[in-house]
Structure 1
Amino acid sequence: MTMMKPVFSSFQPLFSPPLPLLRHPRWPWMNSSTTHHHHSNQPKAKLVVIMGATGAGKSRLSIDLSAHLPRPQIINSDKMQLYNGLDITTNKIPPDERKGVRHFLLGDFDSIDADVEPSQYRSTAAFNVAEIASHGDLPVVVGGSNSFIHALLVDTFDPEVDVFAAGSGSVSHVLRYDCCFIWVDVAWSVLRDYLCQRVDEMLYSGMLEELARFYDPAKVENGLVPQLGSDTARREAYEEAVRDIKDNTCRLAKRQIGKIMKLRAAGWDLTRIDATVAFRAVMTKENEKKNESESDSPDVWEREVVEPSVEVVKKFLEE
């Protein structure tokens, strides 16, 4: 029985990404100095930024919104999704759901050498922005890692300062791009319930096996994963691990929301899109199949989230 604890310890790094190795070395890395400035005589590149807590529907909105945008290309800014593998655990949008929209920095790092720092993300993502814009396409930055978003967008960036740490001072509102921010927000009580439900769905889809295979393939080969619920002790260990994952997920969401609020307080012009009604509809549809009213309407997400986002972005692009 003592051998089961290491199996579940693999859940702990759920929101602490493994160490990466860049799979595309042609991309430049930032040197020790990362305080690049935008030159006032050059027009700023336009880009759309979709942000929000984990599970708030950012990836879905990015694809739905792309259908209304001129030649969009998406740059991932979710730290967990930078890495290759763990597609279920990190909730990567599957290739067949991307509707042909090209994605950058999605699964492009291997977990070998060292963690990706915000300064490194700033350099690599800026290269992608420039490459996309140079072809007349629209960069769309999507993800929940607000430290990465901040590092990429501010005109002056100091890698030695964590602006989100307590007592670190103010966040700069001077940005090196012309940005349209869409903040997908969901009432906490609804988002919390949805995140817990999503963990259950991810487990059902094979997250446990995926984690075991990633962190210790021998446990899968030896058939340990299918036996996890075979007796009371293992079932209790499993349920404890699931509770930990749900707690970690909710804590992550709260930290992300806190960072977004700090950016907004610093003067970042974030347009808040309230997706609460759409999420309630999803929850109702999943939990009460008999409800044929709002929960079964395919228009709730479109009406509450996609349409107002399209209106905001189109106005931005016309300016």
Structure 2
Amino acid sequence: MKPIFSSFHSLHSPLFHPLLPPNCRPRWARMESSPPHDSRSNQNKTKLIVIMGATGTGKSRLSIDLSTHFPHSEIINSDKMQRYKGLDITTNKIPLHERKGVPHHLLGDVESIDADVSPSQFRSEAGLTIANIASTGNLPLLVGGSNSFIHALLVETLDPRGDDVFAAPHSVSHLLRYDCCFLWVDVAWSVLSDYLCERVDDMLDSGMLEELAQFYDPTKDDSRVGLRKAIGVPEFDKYFKKYPPWESKENGTVPPPKEGCNNQARRAAYEEAVREIKYNTCRLAKRQIWKIKQLRQSGWELNRLDGTASFEEIMKKKEWRSIWEKEVLEPSVKAVNRFLE
């Protein structure tokens, strides 16, 4: 068997994927900051808290935690796939009961699943939302993993004709139109990759397969626009194309193939879809981390918060909350307090 971090040509191998940790089966206090910025240049700018990080690192959790310490906070979503209405499990939207009454904006607000939300469109909509929040005296918190959206919103000037700002060298701007406090939640890759794979399994247990089965449209299974770009949709579209969900419903649900399923080909196709979701999720996280490092190298003053220890405890099914509060939440509260003062 080849090493787990072999070349990308093994993407469709049924045995392994290069970004997945070895034990990832189909189902189977630190705060570092850049030097302080010159506050004189930001005196007339709107203050904004920006929570960044790869998928699965606890950004939403931190935003709600911070809202309990800063009760006049309002959260603005900057995750592209979470803009769309629908696929709440697949896109990992924070459930309503976990929001604790904190207002959320630009979350599940795009009705057309085939519409593409551009960075310049997000800049306009989120900019207006921030202005409205600030006008009431409340504190805006920008939270999400779409770093192209974050860059488009925050920079002084944006070329709307530009595609991916991270694709061209030296194209990331450090001149920002808001006075920002950046909180970057980071988790060691060896821990995060394991967690992301386990999270996919948890999502499937929570009804992700049924959600995707209801979303499946055989007339559009080759269409990759809007919400159809969400990880999980293309992977299971290939599975549903071979095994349509309406042919395997039991009691109105679509169960995954069971161990010992007589149709071994169907079970193999299901397991391949799950493997690809895990691989693509890890690849997305890697790309997000790279972009964040690009922003930091370009002069963005990011406070790095190490959530590794708390996620290690989560993976062990042990009490993690006290570690999270000590190593992520408390440094964040201190950073925000200093920023606001």
Match of 1:72? 73
Q: Distance in 2 between matches of 1:155 and 1:41?
A: 12
> Runs in 1 of length 4+ with deviation above 3 angstroms?
216-224, 227-230
Q: Distance in 1 between matches of 2:80 and 2:42?
A: 33
Aligned with 2:255 (options 201, 226, 240): 226
Gaps of 5+ in 2: 1-40, 219-239
Once the two structures are TM-superposed, the CA of residue 48 in structure 1 deviates from its matched residue by 0.1
CA contact (8 A) 2:310 2:321 kept: no
**Is residue 101 of structure 2 the alignment partner of residue 96 of structure 1?**
no
Once the two structures are TM-superposed, the CA of residue 114 in structure 1 deviates from its matched residue by 2.2
CA contact (8 A) 2:172 2:295 kept: yes
CA contact (8 A) 2:85 2:113 kept: no
CA contact (8 A) 2:314 2:320 kept: no
Q: Distance in 2 between matches of 1:181 and 1:41?
A: 14
Deviations 1:231-280 (A, max 9, x none): 21111111111000000000000010011000000000000000000100
- Where 1:110 maps in the other structure, the secondary structure is coil
Q: Distance in 1 between matches of 2:291 and 2:304?
A: 14
Amino acid at match of 2:284: L
Match of 1:248? 280
CA contact (8 A) 2:185 2:307 kept: yes
Match of 2:319? 296
Deviations 1:190-229 (A, max 9, x none): 0000000000000111111101111239955544433644
Match of 1:305? 328
Match of 2:225? none
- Where 1:296 maps in the other structure, the secondary structure is coil
CA contact (8 A) 1:66 1:101 kept: yes
Instruction: Give the count of matched residue pairs.
Output: 269
Amino acid at match of 2:118: E
Match of 2:46? 45
- Where 1:267 maps in the other structure, the secondary structure is coil
Q: Distance in 2 between matches of 1:117 and 1:132?
A: 22
CA contact (8 A) 1:74 1:101 kept: yes
| TM-score after normalising by structure 1 | 0.80
Q: Distance in 2 between matches of 1:154 and 1:227?
A: 45
Amino acid at match of 2:56: G
CA contact (8 A) 1:170 1:266 kept: no
Q: Distance in 2 between matches of 1:227 and 1:52?
A: 31
Match of 1:159? 160
CA contact (8 A) 2:209 2:256 kept: no
Amino acid at match of 2:300: W
Once the two structures are TM-superposed, the CA of residue 169 in structure 1 deviates from its matched residue by 2.8
Once the two structures are TM-superposed, the CA of residue 111 in structure 1 deviates from its matched residue by 3.2
CA contact (8 A) 2:42 2:178 kept: no
Q: Distance in 2 between matches of 1:227 and 1:276?
A: 32
> What is the RMSD computed on CA atoms of the aligned residues?
1.8
- Where 1:280 maps in the other structure, the secondary structure is helix
Match of 2:200? 199
- Mapping of residues 1-319 of structure 1, within 5 Å: 43-161=44-162, 162-165=164-167, 167-216=168-217, 219-224=244-249, 225-226=254-255, 228-229=257-258, 230=261, 231-285=263-317, 295-296=318-319, 298-318=321-341
Cα distance change on mapping 1:41 and 1:247 into 2, 3 Å: closer
Deviations 1:4-30 (A, max 9, x none): xxxxxxxxxxxxxxxxxxxxxxxxxxx
Amino acid at match of 2:280: N
